[in-house]
Amino acid sequence: MFDIISIGDPTIDTFLIMHDHDIELKDIGGKKKAVISWGDKLPVGEFYRTVAGNAANNAVGSARLGLNAAYYCVVAHDSGGREIVHKMEKENVSTRYIVKNDKHPTNASTVLSFQGERTIFVYHEHRHYKLPNFVHASWVYLTSMGVGFEKIYPDLCRYLDHYQVKLGFNPGTFQLRAGPAANREILKRTDLLSLNVEEAQDWVGNLGRDPEALCRQLVKLGPKAVTLTDGRKGAYSFSSEGFYYIPEYPGPRLEATGAGDAFTTGYIAALIHGQPHREALRWGPMNAGSVVQMVGPQAGLLTKQQMQAQLKKLKKFVATPIVDEKSRERVRKLASAKKD
């Protein structure tokens, strides 16, 4: 029996850390754009290569937080595939559900990192997904998959129903683009839906950036609880336990890749360890805050001992309940004081 089985595509990420004088950031049409001299040779400040992917990050992070974790994905018989399997074995993640395919190479991404933020150039290979015969698990974490992701949904739903498994759902690019209707059966079985504000807006329509309105509309799609992240402005938890806000974890930011994965990983790990949602809302940003202090999505993932030490050290870093207009206004001021 596993505590959690992660489902989603892995990738090999190449990180390019850029110098300040080689890229200029501009606000164009209300969106932040990076301007470079096209055709030039731009020097790279630092270069890294690492195993990544939303589900891979979750599997590694879950294992570090003391959970018995397994990982389902499809990789190739190539150097990237071998690197992914080796990484999971090294992190004590079960590889029994990793499928090897000779027809298509392992996914790859290039991450352009500048001033603590990043843009990712993603290459996804075609995959033929078929859900393995999972043993009983407490939770399944479903996240980013490529074209054809919906083919595993009927088998996954039957598995969740048969074993009464809890589901954490952090939809990736193709799942988000397909919309709520294509994910209806999964959303009905979701115990925790994790999105950022922009993703929530895409799914529920033009409700502005009001986190409470977004969460209420998301719950109508089926999930029992929602966690909503808003970058450096903080994050929210909406469940039967109430509506809570927590600010960004205090500390430096070197590189932001994997921050969202680390947040949801920490949040779900707290729930599996028997913590309430308001406490899980502490675990999430603490894990994310550690990840952004290092390059790549996994280097900074906390162990259970490190998490407990941080929780003890930062006792005042707690979730704020939002129960009335006074508390809503206080949270609005706290969030608006943070830069994007």
Average pLDDT estimate for 231-250: 95
Structural domain spans, the chain: 2-9+53-103+137-336
Contact 291, 262 (CB under 8 A): yes
pLDDT at 126 over 80: no
Q: Which of 9-18, 77-86, 320-329 has the highest mean pLDDT?
A: 320-329
145 vs 127, higher pLDDT: 145
Cα separation, 202 vs 32, whole angstroms: 19
Q: What is the pLDDT of residue 252?
A: 84
Smallest CA-to-CA distance from 233 within 216, 220, 245, 218 is with 245
Q: Is 327 exposed, middle or buried (0-12, 13-18, 19+ CB in 10 A)?
A: middle
pLDDT at 269 over 70: yes
Architecture of domain 2-9+53-103+137-336: 3-Layer(aba) Sandwich (3.40)
Q: What is the pLDDT of residue 207?
A: 72
Q: Which pTM does this prediction carry?
A: 0.89
Cα separation, 318 vs 249, whole angstroms: 10
pLDDT at 186 over 70: yes
**R_g of the chain, CA atoms, integer Å:** 19
Average pLDDT estimate for 155-161: 98
Q: What is the pLDDT of residue 339?
A: 66
What strand order describes the sheet that includes 69-76? 98-101, 69-76, 2-7, 137-142, 166-169, 192-196, 226-229, 235-239, 242-246, 320-321
Contact 88, 60 (CB under 8 A): yes
